[in-house]
Amino acid sequence: MTLTTVTTTFDRWMVKLILGLQWRKNPEAVARRIRDFEATEDDSAWQLLHATSRISNRRLGAELFLQAMEEAHHAEVFRKLYKHQTGRKLDKVKVERRPLLQTGQEWKLFAYCAVGERAAAQRFRHIADALD
């Protein structure tokens, strides 16, 4: 069994446990998690847009811009879900914005995006599998 398999199995198990113990019994916990997901997607969009203006390679900048638009869309989906679940408008989480992109280290931002997207997709897959 590989480390990736162990990690994936553990994550799937933890998601089921948390959903069973907390989310199903506490709608506010679900609302808080949706708000956290929205904040993460919104920050990702900001990070990517910030980086877009600082990358001299136009092709890479265009790729970042498209990714930023996708992240902004995800944030909007979570805002709509929050309103649908709670009946109220989502109050945005206040976060201090610190750019991840460092000059000459653009590859780190692309790595961050790739790893983050994979982890998020896996987590959402586990949540969907655990829900009725």
Enumerate the H helices of 53-105 as residue ranges.
58-86
Q: What is the pLDDT of residue 84?
A: 93
> How confident is the model over 34-77, as pLDDT tens digits?
898 899 899 989 989 998 888 888 898 898 899 999 999 999 99
> Across residues 3-29, what is the average pLDDT?
74
CA triple 48-49-51, angle to 5 deg: 65
Q: pTM of the predicted model, to two decimals?
A: 0.77
> How confident is the model over 90-107, as pLDDT tens digits?
998 887 888 877 777 777
Confidence of residue 82 (pLDDT cuts 50, 70, 90): very high
Buried b (16+ CB within 10 A) or exposed e, 82-100: beeeeeeebeeeeeeeeeb
